[in-house]
Structure 1
Amino acid sequence: MADTPSSTPNDPAGESPEHSGGEKFAAQGQHESSDPQSPSTGTGTGTEHGRHEMAGPAGYPQFEGPGAAQYGSEPVEPPPAVAPMPQAPPPRQPPAPHQPTYGPPGTGPAGPQPGMMPPPGMQPYPGATPPPPSIMPPPPGGPLPTYGYQAADNVPRSLDVGNALSYGWERFRANPLPWLGTTAVGVLIYLAFVLVVRITNPTSMLPVLLIFLAVMVGIWLLQAALVRGALYETDGYKPVFGSYFHFVNAGNVLLTALLAFVLTGIGFALCVLPGLIAGFLCMFALHYVVDQDLGPFAAIKASATLVVTNAGPVLLLALAVVVLTVVGTILCGLGLFVAAPVATIAVTFAYRTLTGGMVAPL
C-alpha cells in the first residue's frame, strides 16, 4: 500500500498543494493597499506586495484582480486649452442725426445742446423735423463758436429777396395770432409814452431824455422778441406768445441796440448817408445776439461782415423792408401789424440763408 505523500521540502508549513493553492487564491482576492506598510498584505514585511498597480488616467479607478478598486496616484491633469470663440463684431450703429454747428470761429456759441427742448406749448409745423432751437449759451470750455445754424452741407446760399418776403408772409399767415399779439406790445409802448408825457408834462431836458430812453428800451426788447420768434419760425416751430420773450441775454440785447443807435445817430449828425450806412451794416446785429449770444461789438462786427459780403441782395431786401413799412404806415398804421412780422421773418430768413443756416421748408 502506497504511503501518503509527505510535504514537499519547499513547503515550510508542510501544507498540501491543494491547501496551498486555496491560500494563494484567497490572497489574490484580498484588497491590497498601495501603501507598502499596510497590514492587508499579511505579515507586513512587504514581500507579499510584490505586485505593481498600473496607474491609468489620473483620477479614475484602477481594477487589478476581481473587483479590486484602486485610484491612480498621478496628479489631475488640467483640461486642454480651448481657443476663445471669435466674437461677432458689434452691430453697426446708424449715423447720428446732424447736429447744427456754426461757421467761422470766434463769432458765437457752439450751437444748441443735445436734448434741449423748445418752450412749452410750441409745436413744429406739420411735416417739419426741426432741430432744437438755440436759446441757451453753451457751457464754458465748449467748442469754438461760429456763425449761425449750419445746414447739413454747411454751405451758405444765395439770397432771393422774393423768396424771403414770400417765406415771411407764409409763416405769418400760418401763425398770425401770436405775431399780432407781440406786435400789439409795440402799440402799448407807444400809448404808454404818450400817457406819461401828458401826465408829467416835462419842461426840462432831463425828464424828456429819461422818458425817451425808457421807450427805446421797450422797443429794443420788443425787436429782440420779434427776432426770437422769427428764429423759431425758421427752425420750423410755431411760436406762442410767451416764447417770443424766451431769451436770456437781455443785457447784450440792450447794449448792442444802444451801440447801433449811437453809431447811427453819429452818422446822421455828420450827414444823412453815413447814418443810413451805419444802420444798414447793423441790420443783423440783434440776430447774432439772440441766436448766438454775441457781445455788442462782436455782433455788430459779424453783421457788418455779412452785409458787406452780400451787399447786393441785402440792399435789395433792406429797400423792400422800407417799402413794406411805409405802406403799412400809410394804412393808418394798422398795416404795421402785418408789415412788421413779415419783414422780421424775411430778414431772419436772409440771416439764416446767408450763413448756411437751418431754414425749415414751408
Structure 2
Amino acid sequence: MSDQPPSHGTPYPYAYGPPSYAAPPPFRIPDAFGWSWDMLRVHLKVLLAAMIPTVVVGLVLYAMYFWRLVPIWIDMAEPTTSSTVQLDRFQDLWATVGLLYAAALVVAIPLSLFHGNLVRMCLLIADGGTPSYRMILSTRRAGRVMVTTAVLLVAGVLGTILCLLPGIAFAAFSMFTLPLLLDRDLGTFAAIRGSFALVRAHLGLCLLTFGLLIAVAYAGTMLCFVGIAASMPLGTLILVYAYRSLQVTGRTV
C-alpha cells in the first residue's frame, strides 16, 4: 500500500492539447483504516514516543479517578434507610466526578501541544515524509493550538450539557480543525469554519469517519488507558487520511 493517501491522478497520454487528469480515487473507509494501520506499523516507535506524555498524565488521572471513587462506591453499596444519607452519597459522587472531569479538561489544554505535534507528524507521514523525535517537543504554533483546544473543549462541553447531541454534532463537524490550523496556518475560528465546511461538503463520509474514530478511541480506552498509546495515533492517521483525501475531490474548503 502506498505511503500517501490518494492524490490527483497522473496525466493520461495525449497527443494534442493540454493534459487531462484522472479523477482521484474515491475515499473509502476500509482504505483509510488500512493505510493508517500500515503507517502506524511503519512509524510505530516515533508515534508511540509522541504519546508518552499523554499516557503518563492519563494514567495519573485514571488512578485519581479510582482512588476517589472506589471508596464512594463502597459507601453507596452499604444499605441505609435514611434518605438524607443517600442524598449525601449521591451529592458526594457527582461532586467528585465533576471535579475529576474538570481536572481532566484543564490538563487537556497543555497536553494539546503534544496532540498538535502528533497531528503535524501524521500530516508529514501523509505527505510521504518521515517524522522525527524532535517534532514531539516542538512548540511551533503552541499558543494557537492550546487556544483552539480550549475553544473546542468549551464548545463541546456546552453542547453536551444541551442534551448531549449538540456536543456530539459539534465534535463531528469540528474534527478537521487542528489539521486545517496546522496545515494551512489558519486562525482558531477560521480553522473551525473550514472544518465545518469540509464536513458539510462530504457529510456522509465524514460521519462514517467520525464513527470509526469513536470506535478506535473506545477500543484504546478499554485497555486501562494504555491502549490509547496506539489508538490515538491510529485515529489521527485516519483523520489525516480523510482530510487529505477529501480535499482532492475538488470540493475543498
Residue 180 of structure 1 aligns with which residue?
48
Superposed counterparts of 1:317-332, under 5 Å: 317-332=209-224
After superposition, the Cα gap between the structure-2 partners of 1:169 and 1:288, relative to the gap in structure 1 and judged at 3 Å, is: same
Distance in 2 of aligned mates of 1:244 and 1:155: 36
Q: 1:305 aligns with which of 197, 218, 229?
A: 197
Per-residue CA deviation, residues 101-148 of structure 1 (Å, 9 max, x unaligned), is: xxxxxxxxxxxxxxxxxxxxxxxxxx97x9xxxxxxxxxxxxxxxxxx
2: distance between equivalents of 1:330 and 1:267?
25
Displacement of 1:158 in angstroms is: 3.5
Structure 2 residue corresponding to 1:164, chosen from 32, 35, 38: 32
Q: Does 1:252 align with 2:144?
A: yes
1:348: which partner in 2?
240
Deviation by residue 1:225-274 (Cα, 9 ceiling, x = unmatched):
11011011101112122224446211221121111112211111111111
Greater RCO, 1 or 2 (C-alpha within 8 Å, sep 6+)? 2
Aligned: 1:238 with 2:106: no
TM-score, normalising length from structure 2?
0.70
Q: What are the equivalent positions in structure 2 for 1:125-204 lying under 5 Å apart?
A: 151=8, 158-191=26-59
Structure 1 or 2: more helix by fraction: 2
1:226 aligns with 2:94: no
What are structure 1's unaligned runs of at least 5 residues?
A: 1-126, 131-149, 358-362
Identity among equivalent positions (%) equals 27
Indicate conservation of the 8 Å contact 1:252/1:294, yes or no. Answer: no
TM superposition score normalised by structure 1:
0.50
Q: Distance in 1 between matches of 2:49 and 2:200?
A: 34
Q: Which position in structure 2 is the counterpart of 1:286? A: 178
Are 1:217 and 2:109 an aligned pair? yes
- Written as runs of structure 1 = structure 2, the 5 A alignment for 1:255-266 is 255-266=147-158
Structure 1 CA distance for aligned equivalents of residues 136 and 23 of structure 2: 28
Q: Residues of 2 paired with 1:309 and 1:225: CA distance?
A: 27
Shift of 1:330: 2.0
Q: In structure 1, what is the Cα distance between the partners aligned to 2:180 and 2:133?
A: 22
CA distance in 2, matches of 1:292, 1:224: 14
Change (3 A) 1:212 1:325: closer
Q: Give the distance between the partners of 2:211 and 2:101, measured in 1 at CA.
A: 31
User: What is the root-mean-square deviation in Å for CA atoms of aligned residues?
Assistant: 3.2
How many residue pairs are counted as aligned between the two chains? 205
Q: Which amino acid aligns with 1:180?
A: L
CA distance in 2, matches of 1:294, 1:155: 28
CA distance in 1, matches of 2:100, 2:221: 25
Which 5+ residue runs of structure 2 have no aligned equivalent?
10-20, 68-94
Distance 2:185 2:154 in 1: 21
Aligned counterpart, 1:56: none
Q: Is the contact made by 1:228 and 1:245 (CA closer than 8 Å) also made in structure 2? A: no
Take 1:343 and 1:266, find their aligned partners in 2: how far apart are those partners?
Answer: 24
Q: Which has the larger radius of gyration?
A: 1
What amino acid is the match of 1:183? Answer: M
**Cα distance in structure 2, aligned partners of 1:328 and 1:192:** 16
Corresponding residue for residue 114 of structure 1: none
Partner of 2:162: 270
Match of 1:57 in 2: none
Partner of 1:338: 230
2-side partners of 1:209 and 1:323: how far apart? 21
* SS of match in other structure, 1:237: coil
